[in-house]
Amino acid sequence: TEEEARSQLQQEFELMIHSNAFKMEFDAWEKECELEVTIPKFCWNFENAVFGKFRDENGNANLPYRHFIATPLLPCGAADGGLQKVMGNDTFGTPETNVEKAVHAFVHFVWIVSKGHFLFCDLQGLYDQSRVLRLFDPQCHTYVEHVL
C-alpha cells in the first residue's frame, strides 16, 4: 500500500540520517585521537539526498507509489570499478583493502558508541569521481530494549 511504501522509505531515510551522523562522529573521533595512520576516506551517499512525495495534481501519474528517496548519482560504468561489497548481512569477511579496513573499523566504532544498539551490515558502495568510496543502502541490525 502507499502507507507501507511511505513507512519503509521513511525508515530507510532515517537510517541514512543515522549513518551519516555516526560517520561524522567517527571522523571527529579520528581527529581527536591524533592517529599515526591515515584512515582512507569513505562516506555515505547522503549529502543532498531527499525523501519526497510526488504531487499529482491532475490525477494521471502512472506511478505505483508516490513517495521516493533521491540520492546523488554515482558513476557506475565498467571503467568506474563497479560495486564494492564490503560485508554481507550475516558475514563480515576479512577486509583486504585499507578502505575495507576503515569501514570495518567504522562498524565496530558504531557498535561501541551506540552501546550495542546499532550493528551495520551489508555495506556496499561505489567510488565517486574523487575516488572516495560512497556507501549506500545501509542495512543495520538494531536492538531496542522494551520495558513491559
Length in residues, the chain: 148
C-alpha 74/C-alpha 91 separation (Å) is: 26
Cβ–Cβ < 8 Å for 127, 134: yes
The residue that leads in pLDDT, 77 or 14, is 14
Q: Is the confidence at residue 72, as pLDDT, over 80? A: yes
pLDDT in tens, 31-67: 898 888 888 999 999 989 999 988 877 766 677 888 8
10-19, 55-64, 68-77: the lowest-pLDDT one: 55-64
Q: What percent of the chain has pLDDT over 90?
A: 39
pLDDT band at 130 (very low <50, low <70, confident <90, very high): confident
pLDDT band at 111 (very low <50, low <70, confident <90, very high): very high
Cβ–Cβ < 8 Å for 44, 134: yes
Cβ–Cβ < 8 Å for 144, 118: no
pLDDT band at 78 (very low <50, low <70, confident <90, very high): low
Q: What are the domain boundaries of the chain?
A: 2-142
- The closest alpha carbon to 43, from 127, 140, 142, belongs to 127
Average pLDDT over every residue of 86-95: 77
